[in-house]
Structure 1
Amino acid sequence: MKIFNYRLIILLLCIIFGVVFSIPSLLQTNTGKKIALGLDLQGGLHMLLGVNTHEAVGSKIKSIATTVKYFSDDEELLIDGLLINEDNVSFSVLDADEIVKIDTMLSGIKGLAITKNGLEYTIKLTPEDIIKTKDLAVAQAVETIRNRLDQFGLSEPNVVRQGESDIVVELPGIKTAEDEKAARELISKPANLELMAIDEEKNDQVNNMTNSQASSYGDVILEDTKNPNLKYLVKEIPILNGSQVIDAQVAFDQGNQAIINFTLNSTGARIFGEFTSKNIGKRLAVVLDGKVYSAPNIRERIGGGSGQISGGFTVAEAGNVAIALRSGALPATVTLLEKRSVGPSLGADSIRASSIALVSGFLLVFGFMIVYYKGAGIVANVALIANVFLIIAIMAMFGATLTLPGMAGILLTIGMAVDANIIIIERIREILREGASIPKAIEDGYSNAIRAIVDSNVTTLLVAVVLYVYGTGPIKGFAVTISIGIITSMVTGILGTHGIYQALIAKGINTKNTNKWFGAK
């Protein structure tokens, strides 16, 4: 039997890997991948947000109106009185021969309840589609907020849905009021970009017009973002919206002011090009979150599907708006329902308390194994140390977040790893009491114990997977550490210790003193 058997070599490689890749996390070096600390360990911001799902329904009604307008313009169909009401879209077809084309187009949109009275159409969403739209709005808001925070550069934000219309956002590492303000603005910003045609015929009357009068013309009154006294009368149905934006970047104009350049997808570029070619000499309002940022004259057809937003942005504001546009507009506004800050001092206390518990549990297990199992206890402890380093290294490699439940998971993993070794050692002691030699007792002990250990670890791993899939926040952290710990303990506690025993036997240890090696006479 060779000293350097394959089991021992695997254990040594695991130890080297564990030590090397856990150093950045343990020493908090400036380089290398490290474990991110959760909200409960480093402090940060916890928010409960409510999604105003009724707005998503209104937005979908508006998008239906945009589709009808674009289709009628593209097909040169004659329609009149296209209006967006509270819960429906209404319009009239002027030529009865064109009803077939309108019906064919509408049949391609799912979830519509269409009422026809002669040549007049009223379009609503079905009750089922209203429920589906609200549910989708919350799901999209979760994904949009998560994308924004990722691009903002925050480490391991936790964004999860809670109930029907609420979202929990946890932001570890938010320590200053400025950081908190920037994060909140980024999260809550609707970033609803719309390109809207100005009603040139009636715009000069906008200062003497009420909102209801504007609505009767199919228009809305919007304020200028820099001058609230400057108002625009724009067509209520937008030409384009933010759903067609595929990229947005910060740039600078000739006066070195921050602006935002945006790029449209192929559909948006085609619509934009066709609209500008038909409206040369008129103005187009660039509207962001209900404010007009600019209203340039259309001098020629604009192809290529690109445009810009200028409005006296600071560089930071332009950057946040660009992030919001890239990650997509929120389907509905969000309302802050609850906010609480976890200070870094509380996080430090949590780390200190949990570290004491971790070290204490570690030392107690160490002491018990050495006192009760003698040499076999030392071998098990070596595997235990390798297991802890390996857990930290793997978590760092995958950028996992460590929370208090995660630290509890590490401590529980230590107990499970020791339990596997105890089963093996007890099997070896039973065989030794029957008069077998140490080499035979070791081989038979591992053979007899392996099935029970694998079965128990696999069942625990399945439970951990279920916790990870259906759990949220800290529960996921607990499931991650348990899962990693189970897999690493199988390698170090079973394969590794077996390799150590084989190396010791090959080196020629005294195989007669069973009490010295296994605490068994």
Structure 2
Amino acid sequence: MKQTLNARLLVFIIAIIFAVGFSVPSLFHTKGPQINLGLDLQGGLNLLLGVKTDEAIKSKYSSLASSISHEARRADILLDDLQGDSSGVSFDLIDSDEADKLSNILKKFNGINIDSTNNHYIITLTPLEESTIRANAVSQAIETIRNRLDQFGLTEPSVTRQGKEYILVELPGIKTVQEEERARELISKSAHLQMMAVDEDRNPQVYSMNDLQAQKYGDVILPFANSQGEKILLKAIPILDGNMLTDARVSYDQSHQPVVSFTLDSQGAKIFGDFSGANVNKRMAIVLDGKVYSAPVIRERIGGGSGQISGGFSVEQASDLAIALRSGALPAPIEVLEKRSVGPSLGQDSIKASMIALGSGFILVVGFMIVYYSMAGVIASVALVVNLLLIIAVMAIFGATLTLPGMAGIVLTVGIAVDANIIINERIREALRAGENISKSIHMGYVNASRAIFDSNITSLIASILLYAYGTGAIKGFAITTGIGIVASIITAIIGTQGFYLAILPKISKTKHLYFWFGIGKKD
């Protein structure tokens, strides 16, 4: 019994149980951890997005102008003609005696250049700060899009940077036009929330005023979201924006219509409360992505830092808007540069073609091993099956995504695993031909073969790790399957099959039919 059950065989048995137990859910679609199929296998949507980083700079200037305005009001400093656009922030200091107080306020803001002449100030970003904002805009857009898609409920979405200002989004499982449109809208929605004061004095002339005239007064003309042609005149510098938002949820108003309720952080709540307290009986507009959703009259000071966005939403639209707001506003607008859809039928064709390649290759390899090595080929084939099941099991446990290149990696793994078994069997046969007994031949075969197998597998594993670390998309899928397959082949080919040989060694030693066991005619 001690000779039959050995440590190597025990490891092999555990590997078999593990492989079978965790691969069954993926193979037969039963309950349990399963491999996720990539876009090229189950169909879906592939989008190449561009980030308009110039708009991130403009947004930064707008936010900077809003912060300067708020700090100046708190310090009782009077500013005139405060404007923020794509070139910088400009304003006039009314009382020159307040210059020192204003200087102390401006020192709080990092990464800016200050140019002042005759109480006229121009604030611009330093080149380093501008470069940082552009880079951060892309990075933040990637995280924002990824968070939105995770909350959207898609399986294994992939969001990766391409170059400096491009983003590649892969969405497996998108099957209908409706799902595609909803996903695209969620990805590209800026979700830039602002609260802006209505210019009550000039608003009656809004329909006879153009954008340039409004700009001269420090105002902006914006349309209402759900009204044809209706527009309103707002102060261009927002009271606060969505950066201060902490939560957004779907709720229902008194008429049971879906609305989006939002909550602000402590700073936003204070600004909101201070402004509403100082502007009772005036209007404040809730603006989302450049459209006014409501402009209610402030009846009293609003504390608590919460509000609602209503706009005739469906439950689905309100849910998507809440997701976009919770995930954070995109720092810069997104444009779709390229779109490719992979239909489910095309994905099934890819799976079918891959399975034919894998199955036919596997059958040919197993057939060769059995014909050429006899029973040793059968043992190697069993190890090969366990190898494949181990790959599926490990990928299923970690929720990895199987792609078409990943399938190619599995086919390659079959070759790697067979190569290890061929080296071992050839070394055993060399020892037998040299006149060694069966026990010593098996021992020498594994000792001599292990060096070459370990060297080749370790170099291949290093290559797979580097491909995964520095590759993208399809390359990562290939690296994952080959990496797992290399480790699995070491367990099955070197540890597992040797344990099996050690278990049946007493029976092999008694036989005179070496052809049956190793495919050679020389007797021991």
Name the TM-score class by shorter chain. over 0.9
- Residue aligning to 1:348: 348
CA spacing shift, 1:442–1:274, aligned 2, 3 Å? farther
- Residue aligning to 2:11: 10
Shift of 1:512: 4.9
Shift of 1:480: 0.9
CA distance in 2, matches of 1:518, 1:278: 94
Equivalent position amino acid for 1:404 in 2: L
- Residue aligning to 2:449: 449
- Residue aligning to 1:23: 24
- Residue aligning to 1:230: 230
The answer as to whether partners of 1:197 and 1:283 remain within 8 angstroms in 2 is yes
CA spacing shift, 1:274–1:448, aligned 2, 3 Å? farther
The answer as to whether partners of 1:48 and 1:336 remain within 8 angstroms in 2 is yes
Tell me the SS of whatever aligns to 1:92.
Answer: strand
Equivalent position amino acid for 2:445 in 1: G
- Residue aligning to 2:132: 132
Shift of 1:118: 3.3
Query: Superposed, which structure 2 residues align to 1:240-279 within 5 Å?
Result: 240-279=240-279
Shift of 1:246: 2.2
Give ranges in structure 1 of 5+ residues lacking alignment.
none
Equivalent position amino acid for 1:20 in 2: G
Shift of 1:145: 1.7
Shift of 1:435: 2.8
Structure-1-length-normalised TM-score = 0.94
- Residue aligning to 1:116: 116
Structure-2-length-normalised TM-score = 0.94
CA spacing shift, 1:102–1:482, aligned 2, 3 Å? farther
- Residue aligning to 1:361: 361
Equivalent position amino acid for 2:55 in 1: E
Query: Superposed, which structure 2 residues align to 1:383-422 within 5 Å?
Result: 383-422=383-422
CA distance in 1, matches of 2:381, 2:108: 67
Query: Superposed, which structure 2 residues align to 1:120-269 within 5 Å?
Result: 120-269=120-269
Shift of 1:507: 6.2
- Residue aligning to 1:474: 474
Deviates more, 1:229-238 or 1:386-395: 229-238
CA distance in 1, matches of 2:303, 2:456: 65
CA distance in 1, matches of 2:113, 2:262: 35
Tell me the SS of whatever aligns to 1:263.
Answer: strand
Query: Superposed, which structure 2 residues align to 1:27-176 within 5 Å?
Result: 27-29=28-30, 31-176=31-176
CA distance in 2, matches of 1:137, 1:114: 24
Give the share of equivalent positions with the same residue, in percent.
Answer: 57
Tell me the SS of whatever aligns to 1:313.
Answer: coil
Tell me the SS of whatever aligns to 1:312.
Answer: coil
Deviates more, 1:396-405 or 1:77-86: 77-86
1:309 aligns with 2:325: no
Q: Deviations over 1:202-227 (max 9, x none)?
A: 22332332222221121111121121
Tell me the SS of whatever aligns to 2:11.
Answer: helix
CA distance in 1, matches of 2:306, 2:169: 33
CA distance in 1, matches of 2:109, 2:446: 65
Equivalent position amino acid for 2:20 in 1: V
Shift of 1:109: 3.0
CA distance in 2, matches of 1:467, 1:101: 56
Shift of 1:269: 2.5
Shift of 1:123: 0.9
Q: Deviations over 1:180-210 (max 9, x none)?
A: 1111111111111111122223223323322
Tell me the SS of whatever aligns to 2:472.
Answer: coil
CA distance in 1, matches of 2:95, 2:459: 69
CA spacing shift, 1:378–1:238, aligned 2, 3 Å? same
Shift of 1:296: 2.1
Give ranges in structure 2 of 5+ residues lacking alignment.
none
Equivalent position amino acid for 2:16 in 1: I
CA distance in 2, matches of 1:158, 1:446: 43
CA distance in 2, matches of 1:370, 1:508: 17
The answer as to whether partners of 2:468 and 2:475 remain within 8 angstroms in 1 is yes
CA distance in 2, matches of 1:53, 1:110: 20
Tell me the SS of whatever aligns to 2:232.
Answer: strand
Deviates more, 1:313-322 or 1:3-12: 3-12
Equivalent position amino acid for 2:252 in 1: F
Deviates more, 1:502-511 or 1:110-119: 502-511
CA spacing shift, 1:293–1:429, aligned 2, 3 Å? same
Deviates more, 1:2-11 or 1:98-107: 98-107
Number of residue equivalences: 520
Equivalent position amino acid for 1:266 in 2: S
CA distance in 2, matches of 1:277, 1:204: 24
Shift of 1:506: 5.5
Tell me the SS of whatever aligns to 1:191.
Answer: coil
